Amino acid sequence: MSTPENELYPLALLMDELKHEDVANRVNAMSKIETIARALGAERTKTELLPFLTDVTQDDEDEVFSVLAEKLALFPKLLPSQADIPDLLPVCEILASMEEPIVRDNAIASLNTIAESMTDAQLTSSFVEMLDRLSNGDWFSNRVAACGLYKSVLLKLEPTEMRKNLLNLYLKLVQDEAPMVRRAAATNLPHLIDLLATTLNGTAQPDHVDWEILSAMFTSLTGDDQDSVKFLSIDVLIAILEFFTASHDASHGEELLGSAVKLIEDESWRVRYMAADRFEKIARNFDAAQVRALVPHFVALTKDNEAEVRKAVAKQLPGFALLLKDQALIISDLLPFVDELSDDPAEVVRSALASEIAGLAPILGKDATTTYLLPIYTQMLKDEFPEVRLNIISKLNIVNGVIGSTKLSNELLPSIKQLADDKQWRVRLAIIEYIPLLSEQLGVQFFDKELGLLCMSWLWDSVYSIREAAVNNLEKLSEIFGATWAKEEILSRILHADQHDATGADVPNMNNFVYRITALFALTKLIPNLTTEIVVEDILPFVNKLAKDQVPNIRFNVAKAYLVIAQMLTKTGAEVVQAQVLPNLAVLEADADVDVRFFANKSINEVKKLIAA
C-alpha cells in the first residue's frame, strides 16, 4: 500500500523539475503533466495540480508555457466531473493573454477543445464571461485571443440579445485601434459567418443574425488603412456570399458585386492579389449575368502591373471559364489575354498558366482547342524556363482526351522529341511518364517509328531517376504491346546495345557498370510480361553471365532476378529452375560479399517454397 509520502511524490517531483535551471528539463517535465494528473487522481488534480499550474504561469519561459497550453486540452477528462471543467478556464485565460504567439495559439486551441466538453449553461456563463474580459482587455494580446474563441459559443446562443451583444463585441474587435487585433478578427470572421450559415440549412432566411452588424464589419475591413488587414476582407466577402447563397437570398447580389469589384480594383496590389487568387470562389456565388459582368475585371487582372497578381489570376482561368458557360465569350474575351500571358515577361506567370491552361480544353471542345490552344501549347513547350515546359507536359493527358492523340502527336511530337534531350532532368522525367499513355493511343507502328529509339536512349541517361523511370516505362510498354514486340524491340536492343544502336550514337558497353546494372533491372521488370520461351532462351543466359560479375551490387541484384524468374518458370518450367536457377543461387549463397549471401539465401528459401507449392 502506498504511503502519503508516495502519493505526494508525482506532484513534488514535478515541482522540483520545474525549478531546474535548464529550460529543456522544465519543458520535459511539463510534457509529463497528463501522467502526473493521472497519478494524482481526479480530485487532487482539481484541488492541488490546477492551483499549482496557475502559479507556474506567473514566472517561466515561453517554451514551458507553450507545452502547458497544449496539454490543458486533455484535462476535461482528468477532472472529477463535467461540473469542474470551468475550473480550467483561469489558467487557460492567463496563457491565452500572453504575447508569445505560439503560447497564445496553443491556449486558444485548448480553450476551444475544452468548450466542446462544457454544457451550454457553462458556456453561456463562465466561458462568455471570460470571453467578455478578454475582448475588453487592456492589452492587445487579450483581444487577439478573444477573436479565436467566439466560434465556440456563437452557435450555442439562440438568436437572442446575447448573440447580438456578442456580435457587437466582435464588431469592436474588427474596429480595434491595434492592427494585430483587427487582423485576428478579420482572419476568424469568415469562420463565424460560415457557422451562422449552417444554422440556415438552406431554408431559413438570414434574419437569425443582424445583417447590419455583419455589414458594418465588412465595411470596416474594406476601408481599413492597413493592407495586411484589408486583404483579409476578400475571404470575408466570400463567406458573406456563401451565407446568402445558403439562404437562397439574392437581394444583396448587386451590392456585393459592387463590393467585389471595388476590392478587385483596389490600389493595393496585395488586395488585388487576394482577389485574383480567390476569383473563382467569388464568382461562383453570383448569377450568370453577374459572372459575365466580372469578365472585364478578370481581364484587367491579367494585365496587372504586379507579376504576382497575374500569376494568381492565371491559375483561375479554367474555373472562371467554366462558370461563364459561354464558349463564344471565352474565345472572344479571354483567349486573347491567355495568349498574352503565355508570353508574359515573368517566368512565374508563364509557369502558373502552363499548370492550368490544359483545363480550358474540355471547356472549349475539340475544334476550339485545336484552333486556339494548340499553338499556345507548342509555344510554351519551347519556353526557356524548365518549369513552364514541365507544367505543360504534365497536363497533356487532359488535352489528349479532348482532341485525340493523333492530332496532338502531329502538332506536338517535334517538341516532345526535343524535350526528350532537355538539359533539365525533371523535364525528361515528365516526358517519360507521359509516353505509355501516348503510345497506347498511337499504336505500335507509330510508336516504333517515332518513339522506340527515344525510349531506349533513356536507359543510358546520366541521371539515375531517368534510368529508373525508363525501366518502368519499358515495363508498361511491354504490357501494352505484348511479349513478341518486347522481344523484338526491347530485348534485342538491350542484349546487343554494347555493339551499336540504330541511331549510331555511342552507348555503354558490357564493360560499363551502368549498362550492366540497368540492363539487369530492365530485363527483370520485363519478365512477368514475357513468355517462358523468351525468358529461358534470352534472359536467363544473360542473368547467368552476370551471376559471375565482379561487382557485388550486380551479383545481389542477380539473386533478386533469379527469384522473379523462378516465380514465372515454376508454373510451366520448374525443371529449368532446378537445373539452372537453384545451382547458381547456391554459388551466390557462398559469395564472399555479405549482401550477396543475404539476398541469395532469401531467394533460395522463396524458390523452394514455390517448388513445394
Please report where in the chains the cell 451565407 appears, as a residue: 243
> What are the residue ranges in the chain where pLDDT is below 50?
1-6, 201-208, 500-506
Task: List Cβ neighbours of 284 (8 Å cut-off, separation of 6 or more).
Answer: 319, 323
Q: Is residue 117 part of a domain?
A: no
Q: How many whole angstroms separate alpha carbon 482 and alpha carbon 355?
A: 34
The three-point CA angle 558-562-568 to 5° equals: 145
Nearest to 540 by CA among 502, 501, 579: 579
Please report which residue ranges of 421-486 form alpha helices under DSSP H.
425-442, 444-450, 452-457, 464-481, 483-485
C-alpha–C-alpha distance, residues 167 and 151, integer Å: 11
Q: Is 276 exposed, middle or buried (0-12, 13-18, 19+ CB in 10 A)?
A: buried
What ranges in 97-178 are assigned the alpha helix state H?
Answer: 101-116, 120-122, 128-135, 140-147, 161-174
The residues near 613 (Cβ < 8 Å, ≥ 6 apart) are 570
CA gap 257, 401 in Å, rounded = 36
Q: How many CA atoms lie within 13 A of 108 on its CB side?
A: 24
Q: Model-level pTM?
A: 0.73
The three-point CA angle 322-325-327 to 5° equals 100
d(CA 185, CA 168): 12
Domain count, the chain: 1
* Cβ partners under 8 Å of residue 374, min gap 6: 399, 403, 408, 411, 412
Alpha carbon distance 115, 155 (integer Å): 12
CA-closest candidate to residue 540, choices 520, 554, 555, 556? 520
Q: List C-alpha distances in Å: 450 to 39, 266, 341, 442, 453.
A: 74, 52, 32, 10, 8
Output 582-590 pairs: Cβ under 8 A, ≥24 positions apart: 582/607, 584/544, 584/547, 584/558, 585/559, 587/547, 588/547, 588/555, 588/556, 588/558, 588/559
**Angle, alpha carbons 439-440-443 (nearest 5°):** 75
Confirm whether 589 is domain-assigned: yes
Give yes or no for a contact between 438 and 484, defined as CB atoms under 8 angstroms apart: no
The pLDDT score that the predictor gives to residue 246 is: 77
Residue with cell 555503354: 508
Residue 6 lies in a domain: no
- In whole angstroms, give the CA distance from residue 183 to residue 185: 5
From the list 339, 529, 320, the residue with the least C-alpha distance to 436 is 529
Q: What is the DSSP letter of 529?
A: G
103 close to 141: Cβ distance less than 8 angstroms: no
**Residue 144 in domain:** no
Q: At what angle do helices 307-314 and 269-277 cross, to 10 degrees?
A: 10
What pLDDT does residue 497 have?
59
Distances (CA, A) of 279 to 128, 238, 260, 264: 37, 10, 10, 9
HEC assignment per residue over 359-416: HHHHHHHHHHHHHHHHHHHHHHCCCCCHHHHHHHHHCHHHHHHHHCHHHHHHHHHHHH
The whole-number pLDDT of residue 502 equals 43
In the structure, how many helices (H) and strands (E) does the chain have?
Answer: 44, 0
Any idea what DSSP says for residue 530?
S
> Residue 360: its pLDDT value, please?
92
Give dist(CA 386, CA 364) in Å, integer.
27
The CA distance from 142 to 417, in Å, is: 62
pLDDT of residue 5: 45
pLDDT of residue 202: 44
Element at 514 (helix H, strand E): helix 513-526
Largest CA distance in the chain: 90
Q: Which residue has the cell 530492365?
A: 522
C-alpha of 506 from chain center: 42
The whole-number pLDDT of residue 501 equals 46
In a domain, 26, yes or no: no
Task: Tell me if 564 is assigned to some domain.
Answer: yes
Handedness of CA 418, 424, 428, 433 (dihedral sign): negative
Residues 68 and 15: their CA atoms lie apart, in Å, by 14
Query: Rounded CA gap, 219 and 174, in Å?
Result: 10
Q: For the domain that residue 584 is a member of, what is the CATH number?
A: 1.25.10.10
Contact 352, 388 (CB under 8 A): no
Domain for residue 174, yes or no?
no
List phi, psi (to 5°) of 507.
-130, 160
Torsion angle, alpha carbons of 126, 127, 132, 133, to 10: 70
Which residues lie below 8 Å from residue 206, measured CB to CB, with a gap of 6+?
Answer: 196, 200, 243, 244, 247, 249
Is position 378 within any domain?
Answer: no
Q: Which domain holds residue 538?
A: 509-612
The span from the first CA to the last CA of the chain, in angstroms, equals 59
